[in-house]
Structure 1
């Protein structure tokens, strides 16, 4: 019955955080990702939580799909060294065979012959390493039908009535042995000179195979030389002692019959792919979990298995040695059984465990920190024709769990008609839903404003899909910012978030109950924060039993251009220059006579490389200025550049803002807009901004040794654009009436006296303008028929003030 539980995950039937019992311990389970990755193939990431955590990654492949096969691959196509699975997949992929997902494979030698697989390995019908008697393997008949068990090797060569046993394939040639070397051994046989080597090639119409006769032709014979080259597609028969004596009887152009056999408990079939694994009994055998031979330590693990009908191959990786605890092989077997496996075995784990998906790379978190180079890997491979047309879309998760009033926009993947992933972030998908579940806001996001779980319909052109939406009950909330600076110019929608699984989502601030410790400083209306007067306070938002707080500082400028720093005191500034002998110092008495405030810096120049004068101070800027102005007067000196270090609150280091060729005896204003040092000028988290330094780089052509120069520093001024457009920072909010509110019709009306040229702006609560007009007379109308439901702001700009109204559209 446990496999039915996993089926409910894979098709998106879970209605809440479910539980699962593994090795007697109950875990809650979250689905972190669940989407198609190729023809007949699906990737699922799960997180199990108890007193420890398990992160699981599954890949299920329906091998009955005509466009998918299972293939093994050696690192660097050699039985030695190794290669990361992601690198192998990229290197091996081509238009007719795309290695789109897979995992690491067998254990391997970590000293001596590094990378040599411990168990058997077959790649595309060609044996790279015969199976070992004490090791389990997984093998595939014609790239499709899986088998797990202990397999044995036998091989022989026939010429007429003479038969020669082939002791092994590749690697070492021991006393009196005959070894077949193929391309997987490398470019040469690596043998010594004590023997005979015969180069053979396939007779036309023949191909390499397992458990079937292969006709070969002798093309070259070398005696007592060794290390014969192995051309691609050919092979070398290498004999020592008595085996060499038998090879010496051959001649060029002789034809031979080769039989390389692999026996699985009496079953001999056309095995095309094989990798090895654990030496213990299969951890899951025909539905029964192995309890006697258990690797009873918690480690990262990789497992491979298949369903009872052998039509579904299941790959699994479990992270360990970190936030995820890792598992024993018994626990791994139970997890594989939960995924629908009938038989499964353990392959190399630890730092080797890795799951790869095309276009994403390694999906798990390797315990070494990075993906490890391993001996071999095993992949799902697509043979579908190339096709770049999106024929279907799918969300990254078939079921999305959200808290009440959660806001989320799913991301969608695009697939061609063969089920191959061709776009991992499809744009232009339009969402819709039943009103009982929620609504879609102006930004195209789903808002869980309803009272019942339901479905989202996602439409892309004439293609559509659905996503299950499940109410998560209570979920922990957190406010994005710990503190912020705000003025009274606009309402700030408090950014509340919640995290479920890997998804961090917005929660409508209007859904929370807000408490303001000092209500004279700011107000909160429908989750929108507005500054009232200068000061600081703490606000607390609560949703159910969860709450979070934020420190709010209100800084309201009194005029459009504020002289923020007039250098009345320079105690907080640090002054440096290229040479101490310049005697660089503040000299307020030397400032220009026409200034009412400011200071000056004086220095006596002497020649040096890259001469400069620098003022340093981390100066917080008041409120939310749009532009920063530095006013200077350089007198007789000129400067190749002046660089001002500006820092947004979210930045780790200052951004240098440069002004070239600065000089002259008149006042100079250097202006810095927000955009010069803020990536996102509307993000409130960028404030308070700071000015960190001012550096003057001297133009040496304008300086004379032993002469004293003066730099006048008048002020650092801040510009607030909303005041320059004559919007009163403390407007009368009762001049106009907006109706109806809430509104559900085609338009919204405004009554009041509109002076000629009064501007009207309708915007979303995050500041996006959706309508503008100019009004006059005693009334105005705003069309809202085509707007999505939600909260909007109406701003009315008169000649001397601005008035803001919040309105709700249904």
Structure 2
């Protein structure tokens, strides 16, 4: 669609990015240092200046000519304590002719679609990007502020107080200001009516608190994906289809079915605007539109065609190089809380733009808005504003010599996943093919012992864009024995750091690779916590390690050794198989070890199947919930039919014909709370009356920490009639006290036309297989009293002699560990080489080292104020530390210096 403004043509279209063309190498190979950057300069490095506020640049690396990634550590004082936060900054040279910024919008460049920042960057060919404007997570996925791409308005600014936007003029000049939309529709007879905006969803305006679309007229272009223009607007629309500047269709008080055509637009009118349409427009009529943006600070009008791009945001953060007053309430965005945050700003000379993200993850605690302001000022931001933060905060970049953008840091969404957002800000390169500038070793920077990883050479050209280096033949070597070359990759041999080098002719390039040892681990555990104890049992035992630096990694099977108690077993390819069970054993244990570091034990015990719910006497509510909000249905316990006519069943009826995107129909147990399942459940079965809908059938559990666990029951649901479905839960990651929250159907957007949108399924006889005894059942109970300095103790009132008296040293009582385990159950092992004591009691494994206050409990590293000691050749452990870890109550009587242990 074309609209006319001051004789200039402005096209409603969304830019499609172009993929980069990679260069094939030819000729000689030559290498330059990464930071020998010729005439390119990015301004001075910056550090903060206040004593309690300091920003230190940790690293910098080119993304492309004119853009590089800077990593900072920001130190601040929070609640009286010094806190270090990681922040990432993409610095863009606005004077560089080969780099530019642009808005990335949803999927396919259309609003009302959401996509991850990485997905948008890959789709449009961006080499870096961050999430953009604020949007309602319960709305249609439309940015609240204005968005302009290459002179075209994608969305107009909303009428909201204090909302700022970042824009670039065609000459590269940056600006941050508040803008409003102004426009009108003009008939061929000269009559006009105001336009209120472009591609906006319904909202409440400020400060008058009115419905945005009441008595207003809006333009919707083909950039608007949804057929609802907009949804939940509280108004009945009159719509007008215009193509080629001519009215093609008028629908009074009803929407025009379908999406907006690519060669036209739809006017959406209500109230007085609809009256204008009814009185003055007709099919075949010539219609003209014009619009502009207006600065709310200066009153200056701005033709969108004069802009390269614009993206909306929230409050102003920095002005004239200093933290500014907030221009809008920050309560709704948790301004005083330390969370992940995104911002954008520019330098005083207007030559550089800065895309900023504060990390909130295991390595960084996030920032408050005031901390973000101070950080931005510290690194040289002259004027800057706040973009969407929290779980939306995402940054991606294309590492030097790589072809794809990757996450710059782990997001704050718990599992590190990316939130689908309304829009983002992308960095693009238009540089031509350059000559080879340098090579880079590509591969893992850390390895586990026994792990082998592939490494390759990748190249970048004079514009820091990737070039094809596959034809380069190289010889690989390492500078020490921490890693070894296998002929196809490097294998981790022992903990430490190696420098691996690739040599090709006279050229060579290196990188450091760290082999992680047990001392680098903070915890080691499997998602499988329980398994049935029976000969022939096979169960997957994937292991995850949390490193001291906060990273979580999968541990390959070849990096682990295993210890078994109560059974003979073997682990091959990550699968544990029970070969035989020791005579009389009701419980057995499998413990993985990595370089001496022990995992949380996997408990195997005798198990049986038990009915959890047969719906005959449910004493809790069961309810229906649908997503999106248009999804309809019911979930209730009813009398069965056919072969189940004598029993009750849970029936889930669903109607997913309305709404867009992925659709869900939930049968929820006990409202939102869920209902507890047996601890240690290793399997679940449920009778299902299928409807052959080809939808997915799933179960959702909740662990005590609130994290959801999803289990597929049928993928797809391709049967009718009753069928018993059984699923393995041993590797699902369910924790003790987990709950089953709901059973539900999923109707995916992709291929939606192939699955039924309406139907009915029923459930009966939900069963769980769980241990008959858990890991601590069967441990003896006792009351033991011992006295410091006396070589005797009483057990349940009976006196016994001991060969080593309890020792009191620095207010800590020490005893040989066997005096605890003899009476409360368990066993211990002593490693004379490492001076380590390993204690196993029930499902608890504890490892302590002489002289070290750090210990491990159930695969997690802990810190104590005391440590084991050696006295007269005997190893003594801190009594209270060990006893309480094993669940034994400890009481100290100061006068008599007696200790009472009871379980």
TM-score by length of 2: 0.42
When Rg is computed on C-alpha atoms for both structures, the one with the higher figure is 1
TM-score by length of 1: 0.47
